[in-house]
Amino acid sequence: MDQAVNKATTRIAILGAGMSGLGAAAKLKEAGYSVIDIFEKSGGVGGTWRDNTYPGCGCDVPSHLYSYSFELNPDWDYKWSLQPQILKYFEDFADKYDVRRHCRFNTEITECRWDDAANSWTLTDRAGKTYTADVLISGLGQLNIPHTPNFPGLDTFKGGAFHSARWDHSVGLKGKTVAVIGNGPSAVQFVPEIQKVVGKMLSFQRSPAWCRPRGQRAYDAKAKKYFAGADWRINWYRWRIRAFADFGFGAFLQKSPLGLADSMKKMCQKHLEDQVQDPVLREKLTPDFEPGCKRILISDDYYPALAKPNVDVLRQGIKAVTPDGVIGEDGQEYKCDAIIWATGFQSTEFLTPMQVYGRNGLSLNQAWKDGAEAFKGMAVSGFPNLFLLYGPNTNLGHNSIILMVEHQIHYMIQCIDKIAEKGVAAIDVTPSAMTAYNVRVQSEIAKTVWASDCHSWYKNEAGKVTNNWYGKTTDYKKETRTPDWTDFEVVKG
Ligand code: N01
């Protein structure tokens, strides 16, 4: 067997030039693969950090950890960096690792179909052009398709309306009455920014969320010089952030050890009490579910913005849109000049709207009719040589997703090496391995706060938690260290 030859000829298609796709391409190149095509719908790299340009957009994971372990950056301006610098990090990464030349920009893949006879994937783009690949990798993640609820009258609104993840900078907000629908991590970042310029803000909150302090800090030249001095300094800092966050994972268990959940709740309650003096507003902003069931908001300036006289917090959702505003759940019309949908993403639909067909024409939608699931979050039985990065049950509520994606890349490359071996060509996770894995995942998730009573993007409509990993990042690292080949079968074309 001459594996080098096979590595050199294995055709790899990656969907998406965001954080996962770029990291995968860089590591695949390092491993000796060279026939790599990255299909990117937009005109540039960066994924979510290119799409989201709302005021105040930033990361709610500290930047020294929200970056690849193999591409440390001593130059972060803030502990929690803002979108322009994060986007630049990924753009610079694409240049340094020479990934751009593998990118096919403005190419949206609409269908991927496994060819049983040829043992390969056929990809079709929106223009109808087809491409062939031996291995298909999705770097689309969980939060790439914005969700705007289809309210009656949506198209009748006369003012400007847009989703937070597709911010329309041409809509002037200065002095205007602006309705913000939703209060998740996106809203919490842009509300303090636009509150300063709008005439009036109507903040519709169907269910207020728990919020903890952020403790933003800038890194001055001295701090950057310290980090630049030696890699171990950043690595030590990364290790501490990761270990502390993993220790705090206990706060997300229903039987929380060491009183961690109570401490988390007390911290959030104190934050609200410290920042909101008005008891009526405080009451409105007090959640009715356990902290962590939805992602905990992290902000120093969200509550103070909501307490400003030009903001009305309405503890209700909306029912409809009119030409002049929105109808609240209380049946009243609230007139406004602009509507901002901070209503999140189609998080549980994963690869949708793309159509994916596996062995014998099996559709992924059909395979996932009871909710998305994958083996180790990456492989789906019946879909050979397909690997999902940031796939089902790999999201975190407490630590950096980049850690998880790096573990996935490490595991996936071992699988692709297997595929490249002489006489293999295609592998598929066995139905029994996939079932056993997901039974275990769901039984562990039942012990976490994500399975408790709240509406969140971690669950599908039936209430199954399809998005989150059940443990610490170190648990997932162990899970993905080395493939057990008895979990896979070799597929003969
Ligand atoms: O979306 P969300 P997001 N009527 O789904 C409400 C990541 N992120 O964009 O809670 C009325 O959290 C919904 O109400 P409810 C991060 O992982 C990362 O804010 O369902 N309201 C909720 O308030 C985050 O978790 C960064 O009752 C409706 C809101 O809309 C994820 O993105 C920064 C509604 C949606 O909140 C999503 O955050 C920003 C309806 N029909 C975001 N439908 C980083 O820093 C929904 N809502 C990495």
pLDDT score recorded for residue 349 = 85
pLDDT single digits (tens) 349-382: 888 889 999 999 999 999 999 999 999 999 999 9
pLDDT score recorded for residue 211 = 97
pLDDT single digits (tens) 133-149: 999 999 998 888 999 99
pLDDT grade, residue 173 (50/70/90)?
very high
Distance CA 209, CA 295 (A): 8
Would you say the CB of residue 398 lies under 6 angstroms from ligand 1? no
Using alpha carbons, list the distances in angstroms from residue 465 to 29, 59, 113, 235, 372.
Answer: 34, 23, 27, 33, 9
pLDDT score recorded for residue 2 = 43
Q: Which atom of ligand 1 is nearest to the CA of 207?
A: 27
Dihedrals phi, psi of 232, to nearest 5 degrees? -60, -25
Distance CA 267, CA 263 (A): 6
Cβ distance 358 to 364 under 8 Å? Answer: yes
CA of 345 to the centre of ligand 1 (A): 7
Q: Is the pLDDT of residue 44 over 60?
A: yes
Q: Is the pLDDT of residue 5 over 70?
A: no
pLDDT score recorded for residue 85 = 98
pLDDT single digits (tens) 205-237: 999 999 999 999 999 999 999 999 999 999 999
Distance CA 103, CA 13 (A): 10
User: C-alpha 433: how far from its chain's center?
Assistant: 26
For CA atoms 239, 241, 245, 247, the dihedral sign is positive
The predicted model gives 122-126 an average pLDDT of 98
Q: 29-32: which pairs have CB atoms within 8 A and are 24 or more residues apart?
A: 29/97, 29/98, 29/99, 31/7, 31/413, 31/416, 31/417, 32/4, 32/7, 32/8
pLDDT score recorded for residue 386 = 98
Which letter, b or e, does each residue of 171-180 get, where b requires 16 or more Cβ atoms within 10 Å of its Cβ? bebeebbbbb
Would you say the CB of residue 149 lies under 6 angstroms from ligand 1? yes
Domains and CATH numbers, the chain: 3-45+99-145+346-492 (3.50.50.60), 154-215+253-341 (3.50.50.60)
CA of 50 to the centre of ligand 1 (A): 18
pLDDT score recorded for residue 492 = 82
Q: Is the pLDDT of residue 4 over 70?
A: no
Q: Which atom of ligand 1 is nearest to the CA of 457?
A: 5
Residue found under tokens 């783009």: 125
pLDDT single digits (tens) 254-276: 999 999 999 999 999 999 999 99
CA of 265 to the centre of ligand 1 (A): 20
CA of 186 to the centre of ligand 1 (A): 6
Reported pTM: 0.95
Would you say the CB of residue 143 lies under 6 angstroms from ligand 1? yes
pLDDT score recorded for residue 407 = 98
